[in-house]
A and B are shown apart, each in its own frame.
Chain A
Amino acid sequence: MPDLAAKGPELTDRTRLALLLAPALLLLGGLFLAGLGLTLLRSFRYMPALGLTEPDLAAYVAILTTPDFLKSLALSLWIAGASTILAASLAIGAALLLRQTFPGRAVVSFLVQLNLTVPHIVGAIGILYLVSQSGSFARLAHAAGLIATPAEFPVLTHDPYAIGIILLYVWKELPFITLILLANLQTLGEDHEAVARSLGASRWQAFRHVLLPMILPGLAASSALVFAFAFGAYEVPLVLGQHAPKALPVLAWQAWTDTDLATRPEAMAMAIVIAVVGLALLALVARGLIAGDRDAP
Chain B
Amino acid sequence: MAQFPNLFSPLQIGRVTVANRISFSAHLTNLSVDGLPSDRLTAYLAARARGGAGLIITEEQSVHPTDRAYERLIEAFLPEVIPGYKQLTREVHKYDTKIFAQLNHNGQQCSGSLTRLPVWAPSPIPDVLYRETPKAMEIEDIREVIEYFARSAVHVREGGFDGVELQYGHSSLARQFMSPLTNYRGDEYGGSFENRMRFPLEVVAAVREALGPDFTLGVRLCADELIPGGLNLEDAKQIAQLIQGTGHIDYINLTLATFYNLYLVGGPMHLPLGYTVPLAAGIKSVATVPVFATGRINDPALAERVLAEGQADMIGVVRGQIADPDFATKAKQGRTEEIRYCIACNQNCYGRVGLNKTIGCVQNPSAGAEATEGEHHLKPALRKKKVMVVGGGPAGMWAAKIAALRGHDVTLYERGEELGGQVLIAAKGAGRDEFGVIARNERNQLDHLGVPVKLGVEVTRELVAAEAPDAVIVATGSRPKRSPVGGADAPGVFNVWQVLTGEAGDALGQKVLFIDYDGHHQATATAEFLAELGKTVHVITSSLFVGSELGPSQDLYLTRQRLLQKGVTFTPDFAVMEIKHPDGWQAGPASEVHGFNVYSNAWDVFSGYDSIVTAMGNDADESLYFALKGMTVGGVAPETCSTGSCSTVMAQPTAAARAAASADAARPLELYRVGDCVAPRRVDMAIYEGYMAGKRV
A associates with B: no
